[in-house]
Amino acid sequence: MESFLRRKKGSSENNNNDSYFNELGELMEKRVEEVMTAKVVSATPDTPLQDIAALMVNKKFNRIPIVKDKKVLGIITRGDILHAIKKEF
């Protein structure tokens, strides 16, 4: 990542780009725990798809982890739901 930022920064033609890449570089130095969502909403494999879709719409979520016995089995996304609907029609 550092070489990418250095290469892009060197090729920029104005101070706005330099500032952007400096800020991006600072952000990329952060640890995941500093930017992650700590209060995760999850569902189980037996949760009805209708409930997942409603949760996504009401809470403006794009993806929800699917958990069983404290183990993440996968993630359901809005795209997954759209693909399921498309298969049915």
Give the Cα separation of 85 and 89 in Å (integer): 7
Q: Give the 3-state secondary structure of residue 71.
A: strand
Per-residue pLDDT of 45-60, as tens digits, reads 999 999 999 999 999 9
Quick: pLDDT tens for 27-47: 889 899 998 988 999 999 999
* pTM of the shown model: 0.66
Confidence bin at 69 (pLDDT 50/70/90): very high
65: region left, alpha or beta (phi > 0 left; psi from -120 to 50 alpha)? beta
42: nearest Cα among 59, 19, 20: 59
